[in-house]
Structure 1
Amino acid sequence: MRGLAISRKFAGSVMISAILVGNAFAQESFRVELGQDGETLGDMRPVFLKFESRPLPAISPEEVARRYQKLFEHSDEPEVRIDALNRLNNIRNQSGSDIGFSYEEQAVVYEEVLGSYEDILARGSFSGRLDELLYQMAKAHAHTGQHEESIQRLKQLVGLYPRSALVPEARFRIAEAAYASGDYPSAETGYRQLIDSNVSQELSTKARYMLGWSQFKQGAQAWPRAADTFMTLLDQQLPDQARLANPPVSGLDMIEDSFRVMALMASRSGDARTLVSWFSGRSDAAWHHLVYDRLADLHALEGHYARAVAINAAFATRYPDHPASAEFLAQSVAFWQKAGDGERAREARAGYVARYDSESEYRALDLPQQATWRDYARFLGDYYYATATELYAAGRSANAADAWSNAAGYYEVLADHSGSAGELLHLAGDARLQAGNPAQAILNFRRAAYGADYERAADAGWAAVRVLESRLDPQAERSALTALSEEERRFGAAFSGDERLAGLRADLANRWYELGDYDQALNYARATLTLEGAAPDQRYAAWLVTARVRQRSGEFGLEERAWRQALTLVEQVPSLEGAPGESERIRGQLATAIYRQGEKAAANGDATVAVAHFQRVSSVLPGSEVAIKARFDAANTLLKAAQWQTAINELTRFRTDFPDEPLAREVSEKLVYAYRESRQPLRAADELLRGAEQAPDPWSLKLRAAELYHQAGATQDRNALYRGWLAIAPGPQNGADHLQQQTLRQRLIESESGPDLGQLRQALVAREADSRWHSDQTLLWAGEAALVLGAEAAESFARIALVHPLATSLTRKQRALEQAQGYFLEAESFAGEAVQSEVLYRRAELYRILAKDLMASEVPQELNELETMQYQMLLEEEAYPLEERAMELHSRNHGRIASHGFDAWIERSLEALADMHPGRYDRELRWMSWNMEGSDDV
């Protein structure tokens, strides 16, 4: 209960109790306690008020009272004693102090003087005013317990002296007596008459107050009149906000009592509806809200908390813009707390926060109310956060998400009105994140980090980073990674010294690299490395990304540097190895980077630099595949640079150092090339033969070696290889094979002598005859070989003598002729015009020799002379066609002069013709060339 204070919760109105400090009335705060002040409404009684009739003297009241008390005690005259007593009572009443006679002493004193009053009144000898005497007699009767007599005296005073200044007080006492005796209608009439008469404002106020009580005591049917009376009284006492803030001290009890009685009446009727009916038709007064307040307090004191809250709600609904509405809603929270209903108290807090969550509504609250609003919002945020945590632990994720959302909502709205906005937004972000709303969580974290004076701003900013980071998957989209990068830039700009920044940048470098944006990856790797506080693992990751980016861009020198830095770190901090053998893999990458520099220099034609790079690879990763390849490429580079001997040396060492390497099989070919280019064909050929020893197809190398022997003039070595190949060579599969084999045979024929030449020529002729692939060269070679074979056959033919028996020797000779003739015809078919003159000559000579030999053949001995003649004639007949055939062929050869010119074989044909037909051909001839110049003058 609040006591006499009009309101302890309205900052716009100074509490009335505050002005009573140091005043005796402050110790008499009124309380509604039915158990002590009556069990029923009828038992309730008002506080009786004191009245002052005269102004106090200028001297001390205690001193004046002392003097009048002394006069009363020492005077023997009744009039004097009565006058002194009268003045003494006036002083007591005006000062309000307990001075003069005590209560017990007054009873004795009035008992003593009562007789004097009666005597004086009977004698009519009183020198003073009789109205005052009647008033004092009434008072004396009252002090001696003679209340009826006291009222009679007052009624006498009113009846006899209606214009006396004491009449208003007399009427008041008469009405008060009726009230005290329970005659409330009479009391009401008396008080109303007093109000309607021309009395002082003070007495009128007291009468109106008692009028209200008289009406109240008459029961519920008179309560509307009582309410109207009390409201009129309050309108007079508290006419405006200024008076409400500073109410009259003398009327505090009346004011508070009026509120109490109105609350009692409303509580026993229609509660807020009753108040609405009372206030209808009346202008809104400064004190209306206090009636609601007392009514709500009354219900709370009686334990009817729901009704008390309903009253608060009714006021806030009817007067939404009233400054006290916030206090009423806050009071509902206190009521539910007192009732032990935490859930409804929480709902009341939520209603309060929701009612004033807009900026304008919040700003309209006074400072204490704003503090209350903040307390409620923080309470609700913390409550829902704790509840969400419990629900989540219990496996109720969906419910937990709703609770976290509620918590976040309160933290967010509170942040706009709190000095700890950063902390609240940080909490709100966490709650939003737990509720499954990462986008809103990020916004809260950002506000906490970058828009508030918050000591943990960096943590809030980092929380936003982590949220975005958690939303990335291994196949992160560019948009998501871009958002994280923007968040990093925001965080880095605000918290450049934060130790977590290096890890984030290293991670972003890797992510951008995986996404294929190498410029971004390189930028973040560089940003990581420039941070002084970057940890070894972060620097290691950054160097790895840098190395890979440089590798892709072909900046192999920078790539080498990055790999070396990474290798140094992993060697210094072995724990950086993410997997076994990682340092070796880095070495491999480093070696490759050096190797690529060598490749690049070689491509640019800088052999010296290229070889230097290639040779450095072994110092990084000796014996590795890339080191071996670098050694090999160093030699290749030297070859391309035409540094033949240096290349030969490198190749030779490579084969010696790495005999089992696949690349070693290429060394031989490269050495051959180097030897050839450096004009060392014999060494090139030897190298080929060395390679042939291990080759699956040795003859391709041997033939190449043979060609090199041929170029070097090493005919013997060459021919040995030729013979070996021709001995096993399969039939030609194409024109190249045919040309190769025929070339080898031709070279053997040209460079050798002996009985094997015939076989070579026969093979040459036979291969050409059987081949589908001819060339002018092979045909010429075959033709020449056939001519040689034909000439040899012709010689054999010529050596066969025709002896008896002629048929046998002639048959032999005929076969030899046919053989020679066949070769000559083959030669002509192969070589054509190139050998035709010789072929015609040699064919003709075969016939001429056969004819001549036939004529000179041996005559059988058993023939007689006639038979011999006949035999010779027969021989002539057989020889003649042969001779004619010979002359024909020679003549054809002779005829070639016009078309093909003169040559040695035509000349020999002419000689043969001259011998066979001297009349025609045996003459002096001079062969002249035809000159077209000057032919017109011939």
Structure 2
Amino acid sequence: MKLVPLSVLFTLALGGCSYLPELPLLGEASAPPEPTLADLQPLPVEVAEAPVPQRSLRELETAYRDVLAATRDPAVQLKVRRRLADLDMMATESESLDESTDTADYGDVIASYQALLHEYPEVAGSDQLLYQMARAHDLGGRGDEAVALMTQLSQQHPDSEHRAEAEFRKGEAYFSAARYAAAADSYQRVVRSESGGEYYTNSLYMLGWSYFKQERNEQAIEVFTTTLDTLMPADNRLEALARGDREIASDCLRVLAVMFDYRGGSDAIAATYAALGERGYQPLIYAALGELYLQQERYQDSARTYAGFIAANPTSPMAHNFQGKVIAVYQAAGFPQQVIEAKRDYVTAYSVAGPYWMAAEESARDNIRPLLAQYIDELARHYHSLAQSGEGGESRQQYLLAADYYGLYVSSFPDDARVPDMLFLLAESREAAGEYRLAISAYQEMAYLYAEHPQAPEAAYAAIIAHGNLASTLPDDQLAMIDSQLSFARVFPRDPRAPKVLGSAATALLDSALNERAALAAAELVAWQPAPAADVLLPAWLVLGHAEFARSHYLSAENAYQGALALLPEHDARREETLENLAASIYRQGEMAAAAGEHEQAAIHFARVMDAAPTSGIRLNAQYDAASNYLLAGEYVKGNALLVDFRRRYPEHALTAGIGARLVENYELTGQWRNAAEELDGITATSDDAAVQREALYLAADYYQRAGNEDLAIERYRHYAHTWKTPLAPRMEAMLILADLYAQRAEPRKRDYWLNALADAHDTGGEEQDERSLYLAASSSSELADGYYTQYLDIQLTDPLPQSLRRKRQALDLTVNAYERVNAYGVQAFGTRATYRLGDVYQKLSEELLASPRPVGLDALALEQYEILLEEQAWPFEEKAVAIHEANARRAWDGLFDPWIDQSFTALAELMPARWGKREQALTMSGEIR
């Protein structure tokens, strides 16, 4: 059965009094402020409800009265009368509730119980009759009588099952009468009783109130704590309790809050339970105290209470809720700065991956997570806004704080849909604070991890701008900016800024000598669709050309420069330079082909330079190299034509000086002797080098001769022989050729001139004389002597003899002198001939003298004397002839023999047959034995 405290009944009867304010459970919203602490009253205690009978109580009562009238058995009558008293009690109680009367009339009920006690004072169960009668007095509003009966029951029946209730009812009566010490004694007896049963908790609870009313707060705290120990479930969740127990427990928490307020607040809680022992439900006490302060608008005290719990219990699973209450208090108070600080504390203490979070259960994390996300976001935006407004004068520091919170949001909730936005704001904050590298990293993370986000292109572009703001000259930073630009263009190709950004990256790659990457980027840009504007496309073509040229990809470079030229206006200052680059790229193709031995292909490339860039500075070299490679490829006509044109175009160029010699060589190879000779004439006329002039003149004479132009050949040889005295050898060869040419032209005088010049040249040659010059001198002298010899032979001795003999002698002297000159050179091939001819000359003169015509009219004596005179004249010549032939013949003894020596032997045989005319005879002997 449920128990109703007498105090409650009295209170209801008087119109009611105020109760201790209702406090929400931990985490619930705060209730409006309640009356002051002076009005505190204990919580009403419920009474167990009687079962509802199926028949009305009065009907049952009538039935029992009929039974009583019908029976004469004393024992049965006692039972029926007791039952009738109980039914009357129940009916009266029920009627009083239904009729809502202030005080029901329990007089008949009391009279019935009094009669039974009077008539049966020792009857078993009299304690029950006393109990019921006390209840009737209590319900009827006669509390003193009820207390007296309960006291009687306790004294007379100490072992009664109703003793605990009796003490409890006494305690309530005393409490209602403000006799708190007496009430405490009664409640204490129930608590200490072994039969306290269902009254134990209520008594314990009311004992606490009794102490509280006596201001015995220390005892009250201990009792209320014990009450909570009794009631609270293992998980300390009030909502898990039955309604009545939950109300008592909540009331204990409220009154404890009041007492701890008296004792100093949250510090008192910590100190008390450090002494009493820690309780799992302590967070509820702190919460009750904090809520009490909040209802009293003592905001700082409320916040300090919650913070006190956190300080004392930093690892408690409830700590994060208390920090949330701190925030709520400051919000309710309208303290914005404290709200920010409290949120910062929350984020710091309970952040993801922090020690608290790591130790928390998943259910706690589920509670923390949304608040953490909310507070981080609010803090980030708060500091971001503060920095942008310039308030506080610490904009950079505020930007950094904002960035830290944006970053914390991203790292804490990586799968959150707002992460891309947070990354963007993080990057903006870092950039505004001047932390460009960190800003770049955040921009790029947002852009490329969340490329589908509408703001991703802006983030990617902002990263590029931040790279520019970094203004670093470090190679790594430069390359990072380039990579950022390339990523932007390739990930966001539809962005209208992409082509220009890609072009900038290509240019930067080229400037960094990263030619392969520059070429790839530029090639990507020139292939872009739709085609970019000319101011973007033109630089891309140029970068592609420069990069490919640097990589020795000259054909690709050529095509790129052609692409650039197609976009360049005629009078654009860049056009000339681009033409030069085009020419160079073609020229290098020629160089590569030449190095590979592909001379014809090389020549074609070089010749293309002339067509593609006729005004370029490299055209000159290209033409010369084209000619050279055509010649190496055997294309002499093309090569020579280019050389001739080169000489015409660039007469003062250094290379022009060597063209004549090259043409000569080419004409030699093709047998174009006249052309070669004419080139040599040019060299002779223009060269400042005497040696070159001399050699060119000599070769020109030779090539004119080969071309069949004897006149020009003679003229060039003659000029050479007269002009170049040294070196001796070529001069003598030139004079020899002149002698031969004049011989062929039947001009003996001119021939003899050059033969004589040959000998003279050797004779005066000094140290330049050699075997060749000696031979040529001997040979030419021999030919000259032969001429004299022929002339000598042609002079006949005629009558008158003295005149013809004089001419003959003159011819003889010339011939002898000539052959003696030949002999003086000591060349065998010509010396034996000269010796023989000398002997022959004298022999012929001797013979011709003897055979000369005799004067007409001489007598015999005179004729005889004349002949003797002739013999005397002829004999010395014959002797001289013999001596000369003998000298020639004696050469045979030295091992020399040739036809001229042989002829000397023949002449000697004729002149001195006895000595030189003998013939060897062969002697035949027989070897046969007879």
TM-score bracket relative to the smaller structure: 0.5 to 0.7
| Corresponding residue to 1:185 among 177, 181, 188 | 181
| Corresponding residue to 2:232 among 238, 248, 252 | 238
Alignment of 1:276-355 (within 5 A): 279=273, 287-298=281-292, 301-302=297-298, 303-304=300-301, 307-314=304-311, 316-317=313-314, 320=315, 322=317, 324-335=318-329, 338=333, 340-341=337-338, 342-343=340-341, 345-353=343-351, 355=354
Alignment of 1:775-786 (within 5 A): 775-785=770-780
Alignment of 1:13-412 (within 5 A): 31=33, 37=36, 43=38, 45-47=40-42, 49=44, 90=93, 100=100, 152-159=144-151, 175=171, 179=175, 184-196=180-192, 205-219=201-215, 222-241=216-235, 244-250=238-244, 253-269=247-263, 274-275=268-269, 279=273, 287-298=281-292, 301-302=297-298, 303-304=300-301, 307-314=304-311, 316-317=313-314, 320=315, 322=317, 324-335=318-329, 338=333, 340-341=337-338, 342-343=340-341, 345-353=343-351, 355=354, 361=360, 363-382=362-381, 403=401, 406-407=404-405, 410-412=408-410
Q: Which moved more, 1:158-167 or 1:649-658?
A: 158-167
- Residue 328 of structure 1, CA deviation: 1.9
Taking the aligned partners of 1:625 and 1:153, their CA distance within structure 2 comes to 135
Taking the aligned partners of 1:771 and 1:405, their CA distance within structure 2 comes to 103
Q: Give per-residue Cα distances to partners, 1:509-553, cap 9 Å, x unaligned.
A: 667777777666655555555553563566556545654566567
Taking the aligned partners of 2:382 and 2:478, their CA distance within structure 1 comes to 34
Q: Is the 1:560–1:594 Cα contact (8 Å) retained in structure 2?
A: yes
Q: Is the 2:180–2:214 Cα contact (8 Å) retained in structure 1?
A: yes
| Corresponding residue to 1:907 among 889, 897, 903 | 903
| Corresponding residue to 2:580 among 564, 588, 608 | 588
Q: Give per-residue Cα distances to partners, 1:456-507, cap 9 Å, x unaligned.
A: 5566677889999999988958x996x9999999989976767777667666
Q: Give per-residue Cα distances to partners, 1:193-237, cap 9 Å, x unaligned.
A: 354569997765444333212212444xx4332122212322344
- Residue 717 of structure 1, CA deviation: 1.9
* Partner of residue 731, structure 2: 741
* Partner of residue 418, structure 2: 420
Q: Which moved more, 1:409-418 or 1:656-665?
A: 656-665
Residues 315 and 744 of structure 1, relative CA distance in 2, 3 Å threshold: same
Alignment of 1:783-802 (within 5 A): 783-785=778-780
Corresponding residue SS for 1:742: helix
Q: Is the 1:412–1:424 Cα contact (8 Å) retained in structure 2?
A: yes
- Residue 308 of structure 1, CA deviation: 2.0
The one-letter amino acid of 2:729's match is L
State whether structure 2 residue 501 is matched by structure 1 residue 532: no
* Partner of residue 714, structure 2: 719
| Corresponding residue to 1:689 among 681, 684, 691 | 681
| Corresponding residue to 1:565 among 563, 566, 569 | 563
* Partner of residue 829, structure 2: 834
* Partner of residue 701, structure 2: 706
Residues 45 and 466 of structure 1, relative CA distance in 2, 3 Å threshold: closer
* Partner of residue 4, structure 1: 22
Residues 596 and 125 of structure 1, relative CA distance in 2, 3 Å threshold: closer
- Residue 765 of structure 1, CA deviation: 3.5
- Residue 58 of structure 1, CA deviation: 8.7
Q: Which moved more, 1:890-899 or 1:150-159?
A: 150-159
Identical counterparts, % of pairs:
20
Taking the aligned partners of 1:30 and 1:555, their CA distance within structure 2 comes to 86
The one-letter amino acid of 2:301's match is H
Residues 231 and 517 of structure 1, relative CA distance in 2, 3 Å threshold: same
The one-letter amino acid of 2:376's match is A
The one-letter amino acid of 2:579's match is R
Taking the aligned partners of 1:523 and 1:843, their CA distance within structure 2 comes to 96
Taking the aligned partners of 1:395 and 1:908, their CA distance within structure 2 comes to 134
Residues 8 and 761 of structure 1, relative CA distance in 2, 3 Å threshold: farther
- Residue 315 of structure 1, CA deviation: 5.0
Q: Which moved more, 1:225-234 or 1:718-727?
A: 718-727
Alignment of 1:448-527 (within 5 A): 449-450=448-449, 456=455, 524-527=521-524
Residues 559 and 419 of structure 1, relative CA distance in 2, 3 Å threshold: closer
- Residue 313 of structure 1, CA deviation: 1.4
* TM-score under structure 2 length normalisation: 0.66
Residues 759 and 689 of structure 1, relative CA distance in 2, 3 Å threshold: closer
Taking the aligned partners of 1:16 and 1:471, their CA distance within structure 2 comes to 51
Q: Which moved more, 1:761-770 or 1:711-720?
A: 761-770
Q: Is the 1:709–1:718 Cα contact (8 Å) retained in structure 2?
A: yes
- Residue 750 of structure 1, CA deviation: 3.7
Taking the aligned partners of 1:291 and 1:5, their CA distance within structure 2 comes to 11
The one-letter amino acid of 1:414's match is S
Q: Which moved more, 1:302-311 or 1:196-205?
A: 196-205
Taking the aligned partners of 2:486 and 2:648, their CA distance within structure 1 comes to 58
Corresponding residue SS for 1:349: helix
Residues 820 and 389 of structure 1, relative CA distance in 2, 3 Å threshold: farther
The aligned length equals 801
Taking the aligned partners of 2:877 and 2:304, their CA distance within structure 1 comes to 160
* Partner of residue 124, structure 2: none
* TM-score under structure 1 length normalisation: 0.66
Residues 830 and 484 of structure 1, relative CA distance in 2, 3 Å threshold: farther
- RMSD (CA atoms): 6.3
Q: Give per-residue Cα distances to partners, 1:690-745, cap 9 Å, x unaligned.
A: 4544443455433332221222343332232333344443x64xxxx332222223
The one-letter amino acid of 2:416's match is S
Q: Give per-residue Cα distances to partners, 1:51-104, cap 9 Å, x unaligned.
A: 769759799x9xxxxxxxxxxxxxxxxxxxxx9x99999569857xxx746xxx
Alignment of 1:548-697 (within 5 A): 551=549, 557-570=555-568, 581-594=573-586, 616-627=608-619, 629-631=621-623, 639-640=631-632, 668-669=660-661, 671-673=663-665, 675-690=667-682, 692-697=684-689
Corresponding residue SS for 1:365: helix
Q: Any gaps of 5 or more consecutive residues in structure 2?
A: 1-19, 57-85, 120-128, 743-747, 796-808, 848-873
Taking the aligned partners of 2:545 and 2:481, their CA distance within structure 1 comes to 23
Q: Give per-residue Cα distances to partners, 1:300-346, cap 9 Å, x unaligned.
A: 653336732442314533xx353x23212333444566554344652
The one-letter amino acid of 1:227's match is I
Taking the aligned partners of 1:396 and 1:895, their CA distance within structure 2 comes to 130
Residues 550 and 417 of structure 1, relative CA distance in 2, 3 Å threshold: closer
Q: Give per-residue Cα distances to partners, 1:548-605, cap 9 Å, x unaligned.
A: 566567665554433333333445xx9xx9xx63333333333444556667778889
The one-letter amino acid of 1:895's match is R
The one-letter amino acid of 1:375's match is Q
- Residue 893 of structure 1, CA deviation: 1.6
Taking the aligned partners of 1:391 and 1:797, their CA distance within structure 2 comes to 134
Q: Is the 1:240–1:285 Cα contact (8 Å) retained in structure 2?
A: no
Residues 592 and 268 of structure 1, relative CA distance in 2, 3 Å threshold: same
